[in-house]
Amino acid sequence: MNWLTNVVRPKIRNMLRRETPENLWIKCPDSGQLVFYKDVEANQFVIPGSNYHMRMGAVARLKSIFDNETWYDVALPDVTPDPLKFRDEKKYVDRIKDARARTNLNDAIKVGYGKLEGAAVVVAVQDFDFMGGSLGMAAGEAIVRGLELAVEKKSPFIVFAASGGARMQEGILSLMQMPRTTVAVQMLREAKQPYIVVLTNPTTGGVTASYAMLGDVQIAEPGALIGFAGARVIEQTIREKLPEGFQRAEYLKEHGMVDMVVHRHELRPTLARLCRLLTKAPAQDGASKSVQPVVSPAQIVSAAETAPAAPHA
């Protein structure tokens, strides 16, 4: 109790009270330092001191990739909201309503079409804040529609994966999205268009077992957790202690499961270079038009890491 509580009338007390935003400060999970939220947001959600990569929402991710932060939202097919009438502690439809109100997204994946350094690309972003980025019918339809659009527009398809796996509330219908998205990736491959996957923290479960590991080039953000089953489950199954850093992006790169580990600040120019290399951008006027030599994926990755960034369109 203090003089403000005892003396000042309730109406005046309400005028004096300040509402402090809950996310005004962010605690770095790695170093424990407190950082002002606006500073982290301006730094693409990378903690300035420790370089720890925080999770990034779908809209913020699309803004960071497309030229002038401008793109066309791709209309996605409607799906049955609760096909199994599932209920645990609360109804599945109520969980979806809560997730939509909290994230302003219709489901876990948002798809956009726009320009990346002047070249047309289709980008799909999985938002972990929407029910853990789980793969359900709506998310599967979003990936398939994005891949179909890339085929129609003859443009590269880039997906940012972030998920805890398949959505249990949709049962077998969610597991069916794994082969569906795999077939759609093959359709893009037959159209000879690049498919680039960026693995963010975390990417696990059925998403890892389907479209998230089928890219022509696999990129991961630093420190991202990538795997199918959890480390504890694996240890209990094989009855051995896993090595340090197991299932992290850097470990997977050392063991050949990831092509590149790229800092978030370098992602945009790296993706643009990869798209130009994989689409075999036309040679400049006066250049030789001889048949291009066959280039291995390793050479493409090496070129993307070392080539200078192109001027912004």
What share of the chain in percent tops pLDDT 70?
Answer: 82
* Cα separations in angstroms, 268 against 35, 60, 159: 25, 13, 13
pLDDT digits (tens, 9 = 90+) for 71-80: 999 999 999 9
Q: pLDDT for 280-292, tens place per residue?
A: 865 334 333 333 3
Instruction: Look at residue 6 in the predicted model and tell me its pLDDT.
Output: 55
Model confidence pLDDT, tens digit, residues 201-259: 999 999 999 999 999 999 999 999 999 998 999 999 999 999 999 999 999 999 999 99
Maximum mean pLDDT: which of 6-15, 35-44, 59-68, 289-298? 59-68
Q: How far apart are CA 125 and CA 59, in angstroms?
A: 8
Angle made by CA atoms 185, 190, 191, in degrees to the nearest 5: 95
- Within 8 A by CB and 6+ apart from 4, the residues are 13, 16
Q: Which DSSP letter does residue 81 get? A: S
pLDDT tens-digit series, residues 87-145: 998 999 999 999 999 999 999 999 999 999 999 999 999 999 999 999 999 999 999 99
- What is the model's pLDDT at position 171? 94
Query: Residue 308: which pLDDT band, with cuts at 50, 70 and 90?
Result: very low
